[in-house]
Structure 1
Amino acid sequence: MTIHVVKASDTVDSIAKTYGISTDKIIYDNQLIYPFRLAVGQALLISNGNDKPVKRIDVNGYAYPFISNWVLEETLPYLTELSVFSYGFTPEGDLIPPPLDTTVMIDKAKEFKVLPILTLTPFGLDGKFNNQLISALVNDPKAQQNLIDQLIKELKEKGYGGVDIDFEYILPTDRDAFTSFVKNVTQTLNKLSYQVSVALAPKSAVSQKGLLYEGKDYGGLGAAANHVLLMTYEWGYTYGPPMAVAPITQIRKVVEYAVTEIPAEKINIGIPNYGYDWPLPFEQGVTKAKTIGNVEAVRLAIEQGVEIMYDEVEQSPFFRYWQDNIQHEVWFEDVRSLQAKFDLIKEFNLRGAGYWHIMQLFRANWILLRDNFL
C-alpha cells in the first residue's frame, strides 16, 4: 500500500505505470470519474492488496435509516458494528423510535455478520441535545427503569446487539448521576448478553472546563460501559473558523489523557467521514460552513482547478477557491490524514474506530483500513 501525492505532470496512466498496477484499480479505489482528471496535491491510494475485507480491529459506523442500500452494502464488509441513529426518549423514560423503519438496516447488518446497535440520544423537540431531558432521566429511578424495560423490548423485537449512549451537554451537576445511569444500563443489559457503549466528548484533561466536558467522567464511564467512543472530531465545525475537522495534535492529546483513565482495549477513536466548506472572510456568529463529503471535496478542487495543500502538523488536507466573487476554504479527510489516525490506533493499541458517519461512500478509506490492519 502506497499513498501517491499527485504532481502537475501526473496522469492516471502514468501513475499506474509507475506502480505497475492497472488504471482501472486506481480509478475504482479512489472513486475517480471520467475523464479522470486529477488535482495537484491530491492523495491517491495505490493498493496491491486483494479485495477481501479483513476485520482485525473493531470498527463502528453510524448511519441514519435513510442510508442508500448501495452505500450500506459497500461499507458493511469493513464494519464490526452498525449504529442506527437514533432513538430518543421522553422525560418519563418512554422510548421514541426513529421516524423511519430500521428493519432493512438491521437485516442487512446481520447478513454481513455485523452487530446492529441501537443509538440512544436525548434530542428535544427542536432536534438538538437537551440537557434538561438528560437531567430528568438520570435523576428519576422510575423513568430509568421504564426506559431500560422498553430498550430491552426493542432490542429483542428488532434484533439489536446492544445500545450506544450518545448524550451530550450534560450538566456538571448531573455528572455522577449520568455515570450511575450508564452503569445501571450496562449491568442490566450485559446479563441479557447485550453490549453497552458510551460516546465521550474529547477531553484532554480531567479538569477541562466547558459544558461538553464537565458532565463526562472518563474514568467512571470507562468502568461503567463495555467500551467508549472518543468523539475526536468537530474542532473545525459548521459555526467555527476554518480549520481541520480532526487535527491529529488534538486527537493525540485526547488519547493520551483517555488511556490514563480507561483501558486502551475499551477505546475507539472517532473518525469524521466528511469535511467543511467555509465562505470567507469568517465572521463569528454569521459565517456558516457547508458540510462536504471527502470524495466531493476532491472533485470540487479539480473543478475549480486549485491545488490541494496539506497541513503537515495537523495532518489534514485543505484548499481555497473563488466562486461568485467569494473565497472559500475547505478542510476534509484523505488517505494521508486517515493514515495518521490509523497509526495512532496502532501506537496506543486501541480497540478500534468509530465513523461519524457512513452515509457517503469513501472507498479508499476502507481499503486503507484493510491494508493497515491485515
Structure 2
Amino acid sequence: MFLKTVLLITAVLASTHSTYAETDKVVCYFASWARYRPNSGAFVPENIDPQICTHVNYAFLGVNPDGSLKILDSWSEIDLGGLAHVESLKYANPDLKVLISIGGWNAGNEFLNGIAASSQLRANLIASCISFLEEWGYDGIDIDWQYPKDSDKSNFVKLLQEMRSAFDSAGYIISIAVPGKPLLSYDVPAINKVVDLIHVMVYGFHIPEEGRTGLNSPLHGVWSVNTSVATWIYLGVEPSKLTIVVPFYGQTYSLLDESNHEIGAAGSTGIGGPYTKSPGVLGYNEICEFYDDWTTVWDEEGQAPYKYQGNNWVSYDDPESIGLKAKFAKDNGLAGVGIWSIDTDDFRGSCGTQQPLLQAIKDNL
C-alpha cells in the first residue's frame, strides 16, 4: 500500500509545476581532501564559484568522544588555510552561507551514536559547534550522519531540537544530509520542524555490490530522484526545505561479459580515476577528460547517460541530465539542488566549458 501511495505521489510530482516555493539554493559540498589530488585534479577553496553556489558545506569535521568537534586534517584545514579560505569566499559574495559538515561516509554510525544518546555529550557538541562558528565565522552546521540506527531515532531528534534552541539567537543554520531511500530511524515530521534544510542524496540507487549495472542517479524509475522526493514529502518533509543532492561523479563497473553492456548486465566494481584514485568511482572531470571516446548511451526512462568500452562501464551525469534534475527541483517547488561534490566538476574547463555541471544547475534554476 505504501509503495502504491508513493507511486501515486510520484505521478503527481512528475506532472505538476509548483509555484509555492522559490527554488534558489545551490548547496556545494566541498571535499577538503581534493587538494591532494594529482595534477589538474587538485581542487582548493579558491576554485569554488561563490557566485553560483549559495551555500558551501565544508566536508568533513569529526566529533571527539567527549562531544567536541574534531579537526581531521590540521595541515589542510589550519596550516594551509582551508577553513579560512572557504569563509573568505563571503567577501566575493556577502550572501553566501558557509557551513561545516560533520560526519560523512567514513565516519560511520558510531560518530554520533553515543553522543546523541547522552544529554551531557549533546550539550558538549552544541557548545563546541557554537564556539567553532563564532571563531571561524561560519554560518551553520550540516550533519551528515550515515546512518542513525532505529535506537538513535528519538535521540537524533533531541540533538536537533536542542541545537535549534541554542542556535536560534545567532541565526545559525542547521541542515542534515539523508539517503535517497528513507530509513525507519528518522522521525521525519519532528526533524522537519527544527532543521532549515534536508539534503536528500539522490545517488547510489544502484551500486556495483549489487552485481549488475544500473544507473547511479536516474530521474525516473522504481527508485529514482522522482520516487525519492515523493517518499520524503509523503513522510513529512516540506518541499521548500528539501534539496536534491546530485552526483558530480560516476559509478564504474567491470563487465563480466563485455558483449553485454546494457543496464542490468552482470558486473563488479570498476576502475578508479587518475585524479580521485578510488575503485568504482570516476569524477565527471575524469570521465570527460580521459574516457570521452567510450560509447555513450542515453537512457530514456532514467534520463541519464552511461558509457562503455570493452569491459568498462560507467553510469554518470552530464550537463543535460544535471539540468533535467535542476528543472525537476524547480518544477516541484523544492528548495534547490545540492552537489556531491563540487571538486569533480570540469572546473578547469579541460573538456570545453568551465564547470559545465554547475553551470547547468544555474541555467535551469
Normalising by structure 1, report the TM-score: 0.74
Partner of 1:184: 162
Give the 3 Å change call, closer, same or farther, for CA 258–56 of structure 1 in structure 2.
closer
1:236 correspondence with 2:206 = yes
Q: Any conservation in 1 of the 2:87–2:98 contact (CA below 8 Å)?
A: yes
Q: What corresponds to 1:60 in structure 2?
A: 27
Asked whether the equivalents of residues 58 and 99 of structure 2 are also in contact (C-alpha less than 8 Å), the reply is yes
Quick one: distance in 2 between partners of 1:287 and 1:334?
19
CA displacement at 1:278 relative to structure 2: 1.4
Aligned residues: 301
2:218 to 247, 271, 277: 247
Read off the aligned partner of 1:112 and give its amino acid letter. N
* Aligned position for 1:357: 341
Q: Pairwise mapping of residues 74-113 of structure 1 onto structure 2 (< 5 A)?
A: 75-99=49-73, 100-101=76-77, 102-113=83-94
Q: Residues of 2 paired with 1:138 and 1:292: CA distance?
A: 35
Contact 1:237 1:276 survives alignment (8 Å): yes
SS across alignment from 2:343: coil
Q: Does 1:221 align with 2:205?
A: no
Tell me the residue number matched to 1:341.
325
Over the aligned positions, Cα root-mean-square deviation in angstroms equals 2.4
Select which of 273, 282, 307 maps to 1:292.
Answer: 282
Superposed CA offset, 1:130-163 (max 9, x none): 3234221111011111111111111000110011
Unaligned regions of 5+ residues in structure 1, if any?
A: 1-54, 205-212
Give the Cα–Cα distance (whole angstroms) in 2 for the partners of residues 163 and 133 of structure 1.
15
| Alpha-carbon spacing, 1:275–1:153, altered in 2? closer, same or farther (3 Å) | same
The answer to whether 1:256 aligns with 2:226 is: no
Q: Could you tell me whether the CA contact under 8 Å between 2:61 and 2:69 is conserved in 1?
A: yes
Amino acid paired to 2:219: I
Cα distance 1:370–1:328, how it changes in 2: closer, same or farther (>3 A)?
same
2:56 aligns to what SS in structure 1?
Answer: strand
Gaps of 5+ in 2: 1-21, 36-41, 78-82, 257-264, 272-278, 347-354
Aligned with 1:73 (options 40, 43, 47): 47
Conserved? CA contact 1:110–1:116, under 8 Å: no
SS of match in other structure, 1:77: coil
In structure 1, what residue type is equivalent to 2:133? L
Matched letter for residue 145 of structure 1: A
CA distance in 2, matches of 1:370, 1:270: 14
The worse-fitting range, judged by mean Cα deviation, of 173-182 and 73-82 is: 73-82
Q: Deviations over 1:260-287 (max 9, x none)?
A: 3111111111110111221122878876
Q: Matches of residues 1-374 of structure 1 in structure 2 within 5 Å?
A: 57-66=24-33, 67=35, 68=42, 72-73=46-47, 75-99=49-73, 100-101=76-77, 102-113=83-94, 114-121=96-103, 128-203=106-181, 213-237=183-207, 239-240=209-210, 241-249=212-220, 250-260=224-234, 261-281=236-256, 289-303=279-293, 306-322=294-310, 327-362=311-346, 363-373=355-365
Aligned to 1:19: none
- CA 1:203–1:276: 2 relative to 1, 3 Å: closer
Return the offset for 1:116.
1.1
Q: How many Å separate the matches in 2 of 1:227 and 1:302?
A: 36
1:238–1:291: 8 Å Cα contact kept in structure 2? no
Contact 2:248 2:341 in 1 (8 A): yes
Q: What secondary structure is seen at the aligned counterpart in 2 of 1:154? A: helix
Using the TM superposition, give the Cα deviation of residue 217 of structure 1 relative to its aligned residue in structure 2, in angstroms: 2.3
* Kept after mapping to 1: 8 A contact 2:270/2:313: no
Over alpha carbons, which structure has the higher Rg? 1
- TM-score, length-normalised on structure 2? 0.76
Indicate the SS of the match to 1:228.
strand
Contact 1:200 1:216 in 2 (8 A): no
Query: What is the CA–CA distance in structure 2 between the aligned matches of 1:312 and 1:158, rounded to whole Å?
Result: 46
Distance 1:313 1:77, change over 3 A: same
Return closer, same or farther for 1:287/1:70 CA change in 2, 3 Å cut-off. Answer: closer
Shift, 1:109, TM fit: 4.2
SS in 2 for 1:86: strand
